[in-house]
Amino acid sequence: MPQDISLVSEYTIQESVFYFGRLANMDTISITNRFEELSTLLELPPRNCFTTTCSGGEQRRISFVCAIVHSPPLLILDEPTVGLDSLLRDKIWSYLRELVEMKNASIIITTHYIEECSRVNKVGLVRNGKLLAENSPSALMHKYQTNTLEEAYLMLSREQDERTLHQLTESDSMEKIELSDFPITKVENLESNINQPVQLESSNERTRNRFNIRRLRALMDKNFKQFYRSWLSVLLFMILPSTQTVFFKYGIGGEIRDLKFGIVNDELPGQYCEYSNINSTVISNLDSLDCYVGILSCRFLEYLEIPLINKVYYNSINAAITDVQHGEIIGTMHIRQNFSRYYEKRINAEISDSVINKSTIVVYLDLSNRETGGSVKYKLIDQFLKFQEDLYIECGRDRRLAKLPFREQYLYGKNDEPFFIFMLPGMVVSIAFFFGVTMTSQIILSEKCEGIWERSLIAGAKSTEMIVSHLILQIGLSMFQSLAPLIIVFYIFEYPYAGSMFSMALIVFLEGICGLTLGFCISANSKNHIQAHILSTSFLFPTLITCGFMWPFEALPKLLQTIIQYFPFSTPIATFRSIMKKGSTEENLYEIMASVGLIAFWTLQFILISFLTSRDKQKK
């Protein structure tokens, strides 16, 4: 029995006792009988009360019952009577005496209540980490001619102080106080008990070294009730994958809107463009094949009536550039005087340096934010090409002359897809992976910090059984966390996909399993939550940056590409993207097999490290 309570906070009193009884491989009837007996003896609260609602003294009694429910031949109790009233302490000591005399049990107790030790067969008195004496209470009181054990301890403490002072006077080093300095009187009724070997391996105890289904069921019951009785855990489990997907969808790759963009139109002030008729700006002469235009600047500005741009008119280019420099607007364009006349000559092939310069629109952009500035740049180019194409059509010219001199054909994907589509595979895979890492590591570390993990091991559970029990629950949770983002993206937001939904779901699910095994590995090698967060973060950021999630994998140096492609993320993300955009092909089959093999390799490595680390710590 540990000094800390180390009970499952989500359990009732009866469930706590049954949990430790099943870890000791007891059957339900035996646990029930022992629970009734000990509940009456120790005056436990009602069986359906949760342990967290009990007082400190009640929790210590529950912890004591959990320690003795299986009637162990050896009991090690750390201050079992702290916080209890005198009557209950007397009951506990009477019961412990009965275990020794009637059931031949051996009991080792640590306590700060010295007078309690007068009931034991042998007592060891310790002060400042040194053993002062070890003998029967009666022998110690007789030796020092005292009526109480506390008085004897006080005299021993004074002797230790005097000896220490004397030794410091003679030399600067203090010799070890030998146990032989204090005669030990043997107690006959204790010797008969000590000389008899304690049988720690009964028929039930032999199953301790084997994988046991009863213990596994007890551990699974604990894990499941810990999960569903914590409303915060259930809430986070249900909403986090979904909300992360929704936030990602609206936060990444959406259409940028309402950027202030300056317009300096020296051909015609902006406020007068509304009075011009853009539909009558082109007159085509079929005889000479010439094209005569009106005010083209106003016609082009109509093509900028798009959600991206919020036009702000200026009378001076210098004022507009100043506002760009101050961050008031994202950029500005300057349309020179007589732009339409010179652009008309350009259309009619009357080319000169003056015509080229004066028919050119000058754009000044703030590219300190590359995404917003770049979006404006490419949108301006697209809109001008549309303007020019329509103008050529009205002039009776071949529209192809207004286009760039190459033709695009997209075998996979679309030209106008948002950046979100590129990041989608990495987003779905990373959510499954890192939710697995976080949930598993935090759950196990919480059990370790609360003492539940170590106490369960001492009670009879094996580290293998505990890891397997967590794996079973986490695998079930991982299925939901893997499917939720896919359902939201492809069925609620209705993003198209060309390949097999099963193949994509399989990759995401296996990544979730790989993540939870990494969570086991982290928890096995961390002493507290801070270490676990550091380990998780140190794995998270380098992996996300280099795996092709946020930027193409091919941008990495060749050596780094060779290394990173064998990490848990890179190849599966590329395979997911290939299935989503290209559909089911023979190449995809090989990619899927490679991804599954890579994920399986890392999963097995994390499991192996977790088992080896847990086994070594259990041996220690």
Question: What local confidence, expressed as pLDDT, does residue 379 receive?
Answer: 92
Say whether 289 sits in a helix, a strand or coil: coil
Whether residue 200 has pLDDT greater than 50: no
Question: What local confidence, expressed as pLDDT, does residue 247 receive?
Answer: 87
Whether residue 276 has pLDDT greater than 60: no
Q: What is the DSSP string of 88-114?
A: HHHHHHHHHHHHHHHS--EEEEE-S-G
Contacts of 445 (CB under 8 A, 6+ apart): 523, 526, 528, 529, 532
82: left (phi over 0), alpha (psi -120 to 50) or beta: beta
115-119, 387-391, 424-428, 552-556: which range is least confident on average? 115-119
Selection from 76, 1, 24 nearest residue 451 by Cα: 1
Please report, rounded to a whole number, the percentage of residues in the chain having pLDDT higher than 70: 86
Say whether 365 sits in a helix, a strand or coil: strand
Question: Helix 213-228 crosses helix 231-251 at what angle (to 10 degrees)?
Answer: 60
Distances (CA, A) of 443 to 227, 509, 523: 9, 20, 9
| DSSP code, position 129 | T
Identify any residues that bridge with 263 across adjacent strands, giving them in sequence order: 313, 333
113-122, 497-506, 513-522, 537-546: which range is least confident on average? 113-122
Q: Model confidence over 448-505: pLDDT tens digits?
A: 888 888 888 888 888 888 888 888 888 888 888 888 889 998 999 888 888 889 999 9
Cβ distance 359 to 339 under 8 Å? Answer: yes
SS3 of 536-603: the string is: HHHHHHHHHHHCCCCCCHHHCCHHHHHHHCCCCCHHHHHHHHHHHHHCCCHHHHHHHHHHHHHHHHHH
| DSSP code, position 272 | G
Q: Model confidence over 103-116: pLDDT tens digits?
A: 788 888 888 877 77
Whether residue 173 has pLDDT greater than 60: no
The whole-angstrom separation of Cα 294 and Cα 277 is: 9
Q: Model confidence over 4-32: pLDDT tens digits?
A: 678 888 889 999 999 999 988 888 899 99
Question: What local confidence, expressed as pLDDT, does residue 317 receive?
Answer: 93
Cβ distance 362 to 334 under 8 Å? Answer: yes
Q: Model confidence over 224-248: pLDDT tens digits?
A: 888 888 877 778 777 888 888 888 8
Find the mean pLDDT for residues 54-64.
83
The whole-angstrom separation of Cα 310 and Cα 329 is: 9
pTM: 0.73
Neighbours of 177 (CB within 10 A): 19
Neighbours of 200 (CB within 10 A): 11
Find the mean pLDDT for residues 565-585.
87
